[in-house]
Structure 1
Amino acid sequence: MSELDTYLAAAARANTQRSYASAIRHFEVEWKGLLPASSTQIAEYLVAYAGVLAISTLKQRLAALAQWHQEQGFPDPTKAAVVRKALKGIQTLHPALPKQAQPLQLAQLEQTVAWLEEAIHQAQVRQDHTALLRHTRDRALLLLGFWRGFRGDEITRIEAQFMQIEAERGMQIFLPHSKGDRQALGKTYRVPSLAKLCPVSACQAWMQLSGVNEGPVFRAINRWGLLQAEGLHPSSLIPLLRRLFAAAGIPTPEAYSSHSLRRGFAGWANANGWDLKTLMEYVGWRDVKSAMRYLDSADPFSPHLRQGS
């Protein structure tokens, strides 16, 4: 790989490139499509998976096919009218409600952290180092993810050398790149120190116990209590959190995902009087439309609103 290729590869987000490569394989291997493709072939591909794949997935496949044609110097067939009309027809005939993760409420966060702290205590009593590591890691991940409103991929990309912890004051985390950072300039996130449910003290405890001082902060732990060198994969957060919520007795744990932390914090901030501009700046939303997807509108028929009228 040339030096130019190295920098070009660094400009593309790894997760996006993996998903695009998977989309191209699906078109060529599963559907037996040929590249470069015509606009008619692209439209037929969409129709073949109408009602099978989600609209968001079909749009992602189109983006991948568009990128492939552009990079190879071919005209982009996905911009043709027949493709746009096919996608619009699929949306009309196969409407689907957008799926959103259940927001984690503050009371549920408290319940889960209480369970974790008891599990940490029991692991210390049993001298079970593996369990102690896992529960201490999960407490830090959960509290940091909630109070900072991080996306799942942001949580897994936090590295120890980019963290500055000031006990009882706060913490700073630098992410070299993230979804909203289109210019790849990096962004520093400030994390508050709290009287209870404190993400700073939880992260400090995890760093001290694990001995991690460089590389990914949140890592897998094998059965022998050994930390893996690589960070947790974003897709591993959903089963991790669901197991955690199930163990803590949270109802319907399967309704939650890593976005539940982000949605939960947004709901908490909104209920506690944060104005939308402040919330957008804190969480990293670039437009109001993105923010409103995370905020649940007040129910005018809820009992406490009827009583207050």
Structure 2
Amino acid sequence: MTTLALPGYAQLSAADEAALTELYRRGTPANTLRAWERDLAYIAAWKMAAFGQPLAWPEDETVALRFVLDHAQELTDRPGAAQDVAMELIAIGLRRDLACPAPATLDRRIASWQAFHRMRNLVSPFSRPLVSQARQKARRANAKPRVPKSPKPVTRDVLEALIATCDATHRGLRDRAMLMLAFASGGRRRSEVTALNVEDIGRDEFVARGLVWIRLLQTKTTKKDQAPRLPLKGRAARAVVHWLEVTGLTEGPLFRPVSTADRLLSRRLAPDALRIILRHRLKLAGLPEDFASPHGLRSGFLTQAALDGAPLAAAMQLSLHRSAVQAQKYYADVEIGENPATDLLGE
């Protein structure tokens, strides 16, 4: 079947394509862009190793199908072209081993590939029936038990132990405010916490109601034009306001590095800073450093909400989960443990 070429007047100019690409990039979160770029590097290297050719736009259906098949099988004891390509990717540091990648990893790389097609206003080959069917079969064949993003949730009792290690130094006050804000405002992601500015903290109602409003300019599920405002109450609100009062910050990054001399620096914390801070506080609290990851604050918020009997819809208003199915998993883990049917044989 031949494909009709569009006349020149119906095609985007090079300047229009560049403008479209720039618009797409500016409307996409920085973390997502970084993930796309890593995936694109992997995909480009894979195609060069498999076909000896650079990526094409739009990509051929045969290439897309081969990509799915190469990443839907265990290659350790399966010599052949797919294993040779995988070994080449391992040699240049883009692949760890010959094990079959998790379905989620394959899905993410394909999603990145599709995103670059959309950025160019092109149809992705992954929407073709044969490729879609291969993806579905690969996903079912390689399905694995769900592994939580954090070993354990940081529930209220764990958070209290972490907060107890925070003293009155700048570092201690910052860590207390960060941890309490991340948990109490709905289980914020680490990038959301470090991206906050002083201007995003509304204190107009703090004196009268003990209430602080947090503006999230951009999250994984919302964009800048949506900018949700979330309430922060009680001890968490007081910790954030105390941090601002002690430091005297009036603009710029809310949470910043602290020198070894306990001097507040002017730059923003790195996106991964919350992970380092959490590991440090876990160690000081007498817990293993790998007890929980930053996602444990998010899962801990939902788990604690379930333990306290808060309605799922109310918790989701703060966590900003788009999928009730995803958020419900934390509630289900709590509810099944309290199910009276588990006590049929008594103590």
TM over 0.5: yes
Equivalent pair of 1:237/1:257 in contact (CA under 8 Å): no
2:162 aligned with 1:112, yes or no? yes
Equivalent pair of 1:40/1:82 in contact (CA under 8 Å): no
Q: In structure 2, how many angstroms separate the alpha carbons of the residues matched to 1:81 and 1:304?
A: 45
In structure 1, give the amino acid aligned to 2:231.
R
Q: 1:89-238 maps to which residues of 2 (within 5 A)?
A: 89-100=137-148, 101=150, 102-116=152-166, 120=167, 132-149=169-186, 150-165=188-203, 166-167=206-207, 169-181=210-222, 184-193=225-234, 198-238=235-275
Q: In structure 1, how many angstroms separate the alpha carbons of the residues matched to 2:104 and 2:47?
A: 18
Aligned with 1:29 (options 40, 45, 50): 45
Q: Which residue of 1 aligns with 2:62?
A: 40
Q: Which residue of 2 aligns with 1:68?
A: 116
* Secondary structure of the structure 1 residue equivalent to 2:335: coil
Q: Which residue of 1 aligns with 2:127?
A: 79
After superposition, give the CA deviation of every residue in 1:113-155 in whole Å (9 maximum; x if it has no partner): 1122xxx25xxxxxxxxxx222221111111111112222221
Equivalent pair of 1:178/1:184 in contact (CA under 8 Å): no
CA RMSD of aligned residues (A): 3.0
TM-score by length of 2: 0.74
Larger radius of gyration: 2
Identity %: 23
* Secondary structure of the structure 2 residue equivalent to 1:282: helix
Q: In structure 2, how many angstroms separate the alpha carbons of the residues matched to 1:3 and 1:44?
A: 32
Q: In structure 2, how many angstroms separate the alpha carbons of the residues matched to 1:225 and 1:217?
A: 16
When residues 30 and 205 of structure 1 are mapped into structure 2, their CA distance, relative to the original with a 3 A threshold, is: farther
Q: In structure 2, how many angstroms separate the alpha carbons of the residues matched to 1:227 and 1:60?
A: 38
Q: In structure 2, how many angstroms separate the alpha carbons of the residues matched to 1:85 and 1:5?
A: 30
Q: 1:283-294 maps to which residues of 2 (within 5 A)?
A: 283-294=319-330
Unmatched runs of 5 consecutive residues or more in structure 1: 122-131
After superposition, give the CA deviation of every residue in 1:141-196 in whole Å (9 maximum; x if it has no partner): 11111111222222122110121232571211112222222573211111012xxx
Greater strand fraction, Structure 1 or Structure 2: 1
Q: In structure 2, how many angstroms separate the alpha carbons of the residues matched to 1:53 and 1:3?
A: 35
After superposition, give the CA deviation of every residue in 1:52-93 in whole Å (9 maximum; x if it has no partner): 433222211111111212323433112123332333333233
Q: How many residues align?
A: 291
Q: In structure 1, how many angstroms separate the alpha carbons of the residues matched to 2:173 and 2:341?
A: 37
When residues 289 and 215 of structure 1 are mapped into structure 2, their CA distance, relative to the original with a 3 A threshold, is: same
Q: In structure 2, how many angstroms separate the alpha carbons of the residues matched to 1:28 and 1:228?
A: 40
Q: Which residue of 2 aligns with 1:14?
A: 30
* Secondary structure of the structure 1 residue equivalent to 2:290: helix
Equivalent pair of 2:21/2:120 in contact (CA under 8 Å): no
When residues 275 and 52 of structure 1 are mapped into structure 2, their CA distance, relative to the original with a 3 A threshold, is: same
Unmatched runs of 5 consecutive residues or more in structure 2: 1-14, 73-98
Q: Which residue of 2 aligns with 1:267?
A: 303
Equivalent pair of 2:44/2:54 in contact (CA under 8 Å): yes
Q: In structure 2, how many angstroms separate the alpha carbons of the residues matched to 1:96 and 1:11?
A: 33
TM-score by length of 1: 0.82
When residues 62 and 6 of structure 1 are mapped into structure 2, their CA distance, relative to the original with a 3 A threshold, is: closer
Q: In structure 2, how many angstroms separate the alpha carbons of the residues matched to 1:304 and 1:268?
A: 22
In structure 1, give the amino acid aligned to 2:242.
A
